[in-house]
């Protein structure tokens, strides 16, 4: 199941970046999966700062597919993530949807901000 959003090569660029504010030789940065989880955690923190709820759920089925994305429930923003998405695909959805919010007053690590810049440039 593929999510629309950032292309994997954009996410991979950030996964290989050494400017997370974390020692690139530390345990958390040693493997790509851990890097992806690190980025996902940063995006979840950002969503929390923006007061955006994130819900991982089974969305639709083969007969009635439903895409991951932003919705508003009782006036509150909620990003639904398909439970079966790989972490790198979830990152793409979160970046695509969080990019719709104003983040001028929020500190975002440079590597994470790069993902938002890529989306803004249509990349």
pTM of the full structure: 0.74
Q: What is residue 24's predicted lDDT score, i.e. its pLDDT?
A: 57
The stretches of the chain forming alpha helices (DSSP H) are: 8-15, 32-49, 87-98, 110-120
pLDDT of 45 over the 80 cut: yes
The CB-side HSE value for 22 (13 A sphere, CA atoms) comes to 19
First CA to last CA distance, the chain: 21
What confidence tier does 2 reach under pLDDT thresholds 50, 70, 90? very low
pLDDT of 4 over the 50 cut: no
What confidence tier does 117 reach under pLDDT thresholds 50, 70, 90? confident
Domain that holds residue 48: 8-120
44 domain-assigned: yes
2 domain-assigned: no
- Lowest pLDDT segment from 12-26, 39-53, 61-75: 12-26
93 domain-assigned: yes
How many domains does one find in the chain? Answer: 1
pLDDT of 5 over the 50 cut: no
3 domain-assigned: no
What tokens appear for 60 in the block? 């639709």
Q: What is residue 47's predicted lDDT score, i.e. its pLDDT?
A: 97
Of all residues in the chain, the percent with pLDDT exceeding 70 is: 72
Q: Dihedrals φ, ψ of 6, to 5°?
A: -70, 145
How far apart (Å, rounded) are the C-alpha atoms in residues 18 and 11?
13
What confidence tier does 36 reach under pLDDT thresholds 50, 70, 90? confident
């Amino acid at each position: 199941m593929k999510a629309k959003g950032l292309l994997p090569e954009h996410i991979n660029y950030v996964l290989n970046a050494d400017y997370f504010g974390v020692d690139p030789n530390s345990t958390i940065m040693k493997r790509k999966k851990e890097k992806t989880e690190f980025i996902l955690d940063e995006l979840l923190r950002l969503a929390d700062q923006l007061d955006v709820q994130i819900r991982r759920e089974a969305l639709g089925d083969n007969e009635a597919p439903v895409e991951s994305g932003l919705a508003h429930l009782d006036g509150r923003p909620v990003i639904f993530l398909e439970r079966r998405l790989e972490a790198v695909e979830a990152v793409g959805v979160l970046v695509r949807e969080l990019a719709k919010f104003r983040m001028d007053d929020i500190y975002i690590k440079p590597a994470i901000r790069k993902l938002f810049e890529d989306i803004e440039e249509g990349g």
